[in-house]
Structure 1
Amino acid sequence: MTTREDGAVTGSATTESAAARTTEEDDGLLPQLVAHLREHRTRLREEWVGRIHGAHLLQAMTASEMVAETTSVYDNYVEVLETGSVEELQHYARDLSERIIPRGVETHEVVGIVLLLRDVLARSLFEKYQGDMLVLNRVLDAYEPAANRIANTVAVSFVDERERVIRQQQDSIRELSTPVLPVRERLLILPIIGVLDRERARQLTEQLLTGIRTHRAKVVVVDITGVPDVDEAVANHLVQTVDASRLMGASVIITGLSPEIAQTLVTIGVDLSKMDTIGDLQGGLEEAERLLGFTVTRRGGAGGP
């Protein structure tokens, strides 16, 4: 009985010892793996670049840009394998995205090059450890989850950055398409060109109210000569914009209504008593100056004084 207990204890100790050795060996595999990838950095990076060219990726980059970016990506990739720091990887991925998005690099290209690098490095590890399948399996068990996490993090970071850039560009386009322009002290003009949908109408109102506050405007001329049509929702939004502007102390004059838009406003029953409308922009500016207390004097013909 004692012998069996001793045997059991001995067997248990042997198992624990073997497990500890395996853990120590596994812990030592990662530094070996990283050292191998750094030692063969030039060859592996060149092989990777060859695969990138073969897949027709990053064609928007010059040869020098390709060398710089692939070297940077390779070094950061290996560093993340070593440290496991996802935060550092996310920071690097954002920086990379900021550099390459303006060059026309697409999302599928970024995902593609990272997956190609993962495969090139995996093949290199297979060649190194193929003589010992047990060690190879442990190396791949350590490498594959980390490599997949890197690929996923880079892809998500790139998509997030690309969406941020697109939103920024859209905001810039909207600001350019609906500029709030100071004409003279306390007088603003807002020329609107193109389709006026709900989202643009909302953005227009925000810009207009901000402009009224910034320039301490008393009169605003909104010219919609370049707007082809408005629906009921947008028309009601214009009325709300007029009301909001009045609350901030500014009168709104709307100019340039087309016959079609005028008929639409009447048909859908917009409260026209809340809207001060003038036929054209020149007339609207003259009315605005009158409201501000300026005297509008018309000159004679070309031959007059």
Structure 2
Amino acid sequence: MANSGPGPGDDQQVWGDHAALLPELVSHLQTNRTSLREQWAKRITDARLLSAMTAQEVFTEVTSVYDNYVAVLETGSVEELRRYARDLSERIIPRGVETDEVVGIVLLLRDVLARSLFEKYRDDFDLLNRVLDAYEPAANRIANTVAVSFVEQRERVIRQQQDSIRELSTPVLQVRERLLILPIIGILDRPRAQQLTDQLLRGIRTHRAKVVVIDITGVPDVDEAVADHLVKAVDASRLMGANVIITGLSSEIAQTLVTIGVDLTKMNTVGDLQGGIEEAERTLDITVTDDRH
């Protein structure tokens, strides 16, 4: 997911025509840093946000976010905040923190700071309006930056988790020296088919395998595209010097293979996994004997 919104070079324009008031605003937020930070932390606790974190952890992150927030107002650049938001996301996503919580705490900070401005400039309504005109575009940009960074990081974590789940669901097992088994269970979609091919080829290279048993007993069905991936996995394995035995081939999958033009007589298929292992043992023994001669 690409970064959205204007780039760093556009930040000063985003702050608006009243940006000259930002130094005064920054000075106010720095002077009242302790009290405003404590108010914000209390609002977070009262709203039951970041409940997966301890009070000390929340206060530590509140301090960092506050300082980054003020720095953005002072410099006009969100790059440092964007980097911090990514780092923060890496730390808190594994703790179970959700996107709405992150957006919620940033919006609470915006509210805390806005209320402090109302209090400071309550006797000068015109100046208050001009200060808010300077503050609101910056506050909105900051909230958007943090939210986008968190969503990007969360999507990356989800993709990694999905990859890990797929890898766990298609383990390449070494039965004995030079013999591997790849049991496939569940829906075999195109991304998973590609991943199992990659895993299989890595396994063949790592274990210097000569025979591979691919068991698809637990696969309910495959479409033509996935069947084509399966055939390519067999061909790629052969190119790496490994004989492939397919076990558990259902009649439906066999028909799909025939439909896409696969000559099943050229594929080594055995009815069940046990039979496939026995066939693999015989093939491996013959291969070892031939190598010795």
TM range (shorter): 0.7 to 0.9
Q: Which amino acid aligns with 1:175?
A: E
For 1:229, the equivalent position in structure 2 comes to 221
Greater relative contact order (Cα < 8 A, sep 6+): 2
CA distance change for structure 1 residues 295 and 212 in 2, over 3 Å: closer, same or farther? Answer: closer
Please state if 1:158 is matched with 2:121.
no
Moved more, 256-265 or 180-189: 256-265
The C-alpha deviation readout for 1:186-224, integer Å capped at 9, x for no partner, is 322111111212221122112212222333322211112
TM-superposed CA distance for 1:263, in Å, is: 6.0
CA distance in 1, matches of 2:190, 2:222: 10
TM-score (norm 1): 0.79
Please state if 1:90 is matched with 2:82.
yes
CA distance in 1, matches of 2:240, 2:55: 57
Q: Which amino acid aligns with 1:285?
A: I
Q: Which amino acid aligns with 1:67?
A: F
CA distance in 1, matches of 2:172, 2:94: 29
Please state if 1:115 is matched with 2:107.
yes
Please state if 1:72 is matched with 2:77.
no
Count of aligned pairs between the two proteins:
271
Contact 1:255-1:278 within 8 A present in 2 as well: yes
Aligned with residue 128 of structure 1, among 117, 120, 125: 120
CA distance in 2, matches of 1:99, 1:26: 33
Contact 2:68-2:80 within 8 A present in 1 as well: no
Moved more, 131-140 or 103-112: 131-140
For 1:102, the equivalent position in structure 2 comes to 94
SS in structure 2 opposite 1:293? helix
For 1:31, the equivalent position in structure 2 comes to 23
Please state if 1:141 is matched with 2:133.
yes
Gaps of 5+ in 1: 1-24, 297-305
Q: Which amino acid aligns with 2:22?
A: L
- Aligned-pair identity in percent equals 81
For 1:182, the equivalent position in structure 2 comes to 174
SS in structure 1 opposite 2:184? strand
For 1:200, the equivalent position in structure 2 comes to 192
TM-superposed CA distance for 1:146, in Å, is: 1.6
The C-alpha deviation readout for 1:258-286, integer Å capped at 9, x for no partner, is 45545665677642123211122232222
Q: Which amino acid aligns with 2:63?
A: T
CA distance in 1, matches of 2:228, 2:137: 55
Gaps of 5+ in 2: 1-17, 289-293
Aligned with residue 289 of structure 1, among 256, 281, 292: 281
CA distance in 2, matches of 1:142, 1:104: 35
TM-score (norm 2): 0.82
Q: Which amino acid aligns with 1:92?
A: Y
Larger Rg: 1
The C-alpha deviation readout for 1:120-173, integer Å capped at 9, x for no partner, is 101211221232334333322332222111111101100000000000101111
CA distance in 2, matches of 1:30, 1:231: 60
Give the aligned CA root-mean-square deviation in angstroms: 2.5
For 1:21, the equivalent position in structure 2 comes to none
